[in-house]
Amino acid sequence: MSSKTKPGNYFEDFRLGQEIVHATPRTVTEGDVALYTALFGSRFAINSSNPFAVELGLERAPIDSILAFHIVFGKTVADISLNAIANLGYAGGRFGQPVYPGDTLSTTSSVIGLRQNKDGKTGVVYVRSTGVNQRGEMVVEYMRWVMVRKNDPNAPAPEPHVPELPDAVAVDDLVVPFHLRNGRYNTDLAGSMHLWEDYTVGERIDHVDGMTIEEAEHMLAARLYQNTARVHFNQHVEKDGRFGRRIIYGGHIISLARALSFNGLANALNVAAINGGRHTNPTFAGDTVYAWSEILDKMALPGRTDFGALRVRTVATKDRACSDFPYQDAEGKYDPAVVLDFDYTVLMPRREAVKSGNGSD
């Protein structure tokens, strides 16, 4: 009996250089923005206020960078990670054109690396995925690597090829869609007086607040982004898995950490690049997520005096506040509470371009 359903790709189904067109295009709506706010509590002014965004040279309030990432990422799951054991990491992520409600996003991926694991039952697949809008303009591109099950343990292993992964996205490659018009940036409305000049390399910020994940929230988020990975939504299967329950989609933790970072980084208008990231431990419904950040680098943007870039490491934890900045021990082993190690670059207004009298004093 033939079947018209798709079981997803197993490790032996991937080929180096393979190009994948993912279903289905997704038109972003105002409802997506409202649901994203309801799920994560994001408070960044640029994504909340049309007038605030217009003062930065945009046509209206764009969606949060990480929401665009979720939508683009979700398209890839059915083809890349439906049979995954774990999403291992990210590199070389770059955000392009702002995304507005009404834009339609679609995604393609190319296989850039393959390596079978020693157990012969799994392998690591490296892909580069690109999301574009209805005009074919890049909105986000990134590399990730995933551990995927083999369907047939006896299937021959491919010649191993591990791609070279960049340490960080170069400042010259950042897309800066903002223009500060006549210094009209209101730090009172943005939620913080601290601008680019006020941060120092090595500085650590405890974002203080915590958010508890409810079962309904992560299920709603997985469906919202059309993420079909069984480990996130199928309790019937996962009750017999490694943990006996569904794990939280890693992007859910990224969004929580980004939302929590508002308290300390409110003027980080968008995420311009994802330099690297690791989901270091699983999270489950009922866990409370906290976060802290470290400023890794502070970069002037070529030819720009109105905005600068900060390279930030945000670390998220579960059921542990971050006043003592939990991270790694001397041997590089993560604290058991750490669930996310996320290295990214944000854009922030510079004080010299913000006129006094706009809440900046």
Q: Decide if 295 is inside a domain.
A: yes
Q: Decide if 360 is inside a domain.
A: no
Domain span at residue 245?
Answer: 11-353
Cα 281 → chain centroid: 16
Q: Model-level pTM?
A: 0.94
| Cis, bond preceding 24 (omega within 30 deg of 0) | yes
What is the distance between the alpha carbons of residues 9 and 92, in angstroms, rounded to a whole number?
24
Q: What is the pLDDT along the chain (361 residues), one digit of tens a residue?
A: 557 888 899 999 999 999 999 999 999 999 999 999 999 999 999 999 999 999 999 999 999 999 999 999 999 999 999 888 888 899 999 999 999 999 999 999 999 999 999 999 999 999 999 999 999 999 999 999 999 999 999 999 999 999 999 999 999 999 999 998 777 899 999 999 999 999 999 999 999 999 999 999 999 998 999 888 888 888 898 898 889 999 999 999 999 999 999 999 999 999 999 999 999 999 999 999 999 999 999 999 999 999 999 999 999 999 999 999 999 999 999 999 999 999 999 999 999 888 654 554 4
Q: Residue 122 to residues 9, 125, 155, 159, 165: CA-CA distances in angstroms?
A: 12, 10, 11, 14, 21
Helix %, strand %, coil % of the chain (to 5): 25, 30, 45
Q: Decide if 4 is inside a domain.
A: no
CATH number of the CATH domain containing 111: 3.10.129.10
Amino acid (one-letter) located at 145 = W
Strands 122-132 and 104-116: antiparallel
Q: Decide if 359 is inside a domain.
A: no
Q: Decide if 66 is inside a domain.
A: yes
Is 213 in a helix, a strand, or coil?
coil
Q: Decide if 5 is inside a domain.
A: no
The residues facing 148 across adjacent strands are 84, 123
Q: Decide if 288 is inside a domain.
A: yes
Domain total for the chain? 1
Q: Decide if 3 is inside a domain.
A: no
DSSP for 8-41, please give it.
---GGG--TT-EEEPS--EE--HHHHHHHHHHH-
